[in-house]
């Protein structure tokens, strides 16, 4: 079985939240003192 030697566990310490704002789907990522929010487009 192949294992990616470059896996760094990038999602450790991050939390993700999907929510609706004014009828628009958005996602917010928080971790390591950073908060990123963006709308989710189709596709």
Cβ–Cβ < 8 Å for 27, 40: yes
Q: How high is the pLDDT of residue 1? A: 57
Average the pLDDT over 4-32 and give the result.
81
Compute the CA torsion angle 21, 43, 31, 5 (nearest 10 deg). 170
Question: Cα–Cα distances in Å, from 30 out to 2, 5, 9, 26?
Answer: 31, 26, 15, 13
Cβ–Cβ < 8 Å for 31, 15: yes
End-to-end CA distance of the chain: 31
Confidence of residue 32 (pLDDT cuts 50, 70, 90): confident
Residue 42: is its pLDDT beyond 90? no
Q: How high is the pLDDT of residue 10? A: 62
């Amino acid at each position: 079985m192949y294992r990616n030697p470059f896996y760094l566990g990038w999602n450790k310490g991050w939390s993700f939240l999907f929510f609706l704002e004014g009828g628009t789907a958005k996602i917010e990522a928080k971790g390591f003192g950073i908060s990123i929010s963006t709308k989710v487009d189709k596709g």
